[in-house]
Amino acid sequence: MKIVSKRAATVAMSVLVVTGLLFAAFVVMTPPTSPRTATSDSASPTGARIGEASVHLAATCGQVPVPLASAASYAVLASSTVTSTGATAITGDLGLSPGTSVTGFPPGTITGLKNVTTPSAAGAKANLTVAYNNASARSNCPVTVAGNIGGQTLTPGLYKSTSSLAISSGDLTLSAAGNPNGVFIFQVASALTTTSGRAVILAGGAQAANVFWVIGSSATLGTTSVMKGTVMAYDSISMLTGSVLDGRALADTGEVSLAGSTIVVPTPTSQSTYPVTFTESGLPTGTAWSVTLAGAPVSSTSPTIKFSVVSGTYAYTTAVAGYIATPSSGSLTVNGAAVDQSIVCTTAATGTFNLTFTESGLPAGTGWSIALNGVTTSSVATTIGFTEASGTYSYAVGYLSNYTSSPASGSVTINGAATSVTIAFSSTGGNGTTSPGGGSPGISSGEWALLAIVAVAAVVAAVTVAVVLHRRKSP
């Protein structure tokens, strides 16, 4: 009985040793989770968490103010009705079009013009629709927000909510970080609500004139709450008792209701603006084309498209159907003077053409990948090919452990001929590779050596078990 027990213990111990060694080998060979690829949201501010440093918003991701035109002088502008109860005080114009009903003034007061179904009100209302659409169409480096943003501190940029948004659990601070030209744009798909006593606080030189809220349905400002910026609601705006708005209440299709509320149209700190002019060549007369500067799109059938901006660095993109615009994108810097940018348009050749990416610097058989306009193709060959129509395409090189690529991303234009791009890989040390598609790194030579040692140890352990069993069977 003792012999059997000792034999069982010896076998169990040997099995444990072998199992432990094999587990160690598995751990060694299992690669760590690979970093996200160049096309993941790690490279995009949409993955930013609210309250983190503004490094998520590059200089070229800055926004330009929403163009309000004649709507800028209005503290209140609505489509159906304007109603007020109590001692509402408005500093700025009040307008209504095409509705005819404005009630509550007096006792409410208006320090400005009262335009009801006048040409001025109709023009301002038309400009409000343009401004609303402009703000809604912004897409330059959006940062996703959701639910309650109270208690946060946000820096200039574009903030996008796909549902409703609230300022409820604390005050919201908007900090321009010393840049008085910083623009904040909030896109809210449905409703915006501030609860009783909550406030939007401006810090770091931020200005109410540079804060814009574009609301997909209605906005409700709670009792005694304090709001900053221009509130543009597709439907209606309700300001509850004692609420304060340093900005504008502009309802595109519905009403504005007030209750002892205070609204003051903000006066921005004087700042110089400079013209930025894009001039196209190569288009037939009357052909529509467009330029998006810092997220603000403008279309025209004339050869020039103009913007007016303060000093800063801005990203732009150009687009025209049936033609290739060169450059199709880029950035420009305004530094106290006008800037002119030429855009050359050429007819986009019909048909499809070969686009080839060729790598250098990788060991033979190493998997690598290219994402072209978001579609990823992988290979272990030195080339990756696509067949595309004429146009401008963005690309990104997939992550490859222990290597860097140059360029790592960019754009390429095809116009009626085969086009190629060379990608040079440089080793950063180690022998890691990826599987086709930019997957996890393979096994390095050092890992193979360790695996061999583990295998030998496993064999030795197995032989030991056999010898022990043989000796126990001997008389």
Q: Along the 475 residues of the chain, how does pLDDT read in single tens digits?
A: 444 444 544 444 544 444 444 444 444 444 433 333 333 332 333 232 222 222 222 334 678 889 999 999 999 999 999 999 999 999 999 999 999 999 999 999 999 999 999 999 999 999 999 999 999 999 888 999 999 999 999 999 999 999 999 999 999 999 998 888 889 999 999 999 999 999 999 999 999 999 999 999 999 999 999 999 999 999 999 999 999 999 999 999 999 999 999 999 998 776 678 899 999 999 999 999 999 988 788 999 999 999 988 877 888 999 898 899 999 999 888 888 899 999 999 998 888 899 999 999 999 999 999 999 889 999 999 999 999 988 888 899 998 888 989 998 888 888 878 899 999 999 887 554 443 333 334 444 444 445 556 555 655 555 555 555 555 555 5
228 class by beta-carbon count within 10 Å (0-12 exposed, 13-18 middle, 19+ buried): buried
Predicted pLDDT of residue 57: 29
Predicted pLDDT of residue 89: 98
Q: What angle do CA 74, 78, 80 make, to 5 degrees?
A: 155
Predicted pLDDT of residue 24: 43
Predicted pLDDT of residue 459: 53
Contacts of 226 (CB under 8 A, 6+ apart): 198, 199, 200, 243, 244, 245, 246
Q: Which residues pair with 384 in a beta bridge?
A: 357
Q: What angle do CA 208, 52, 410 make, to 5 degrees?
A: 95
Query: Which two tokens mark 427?
Result: 């080793």
Which residue type occupies 374?
G
Q: Estimate the share of the chain in helix, then strand, then coil, as percent rounded to the nearest 5.
A: 20, 40, 40
Predicted pLDDT of residue 350: 85
Nearest to 46 by CA among 187, 177, 176, 232: 187
Predicted pLDDT of residue 107: 97
Where is 400: in which H helix or E strand? Answer: none
CA atoms of 111 and 106, how far apart (whole Å): 12
Nearest to 50 by CA among 120, 126, 144, 161: 144
Nearest to 165 by CA among 188, 183, 182: 188
Where is 124: in which H helix or E strand? Answer: helix 119-136
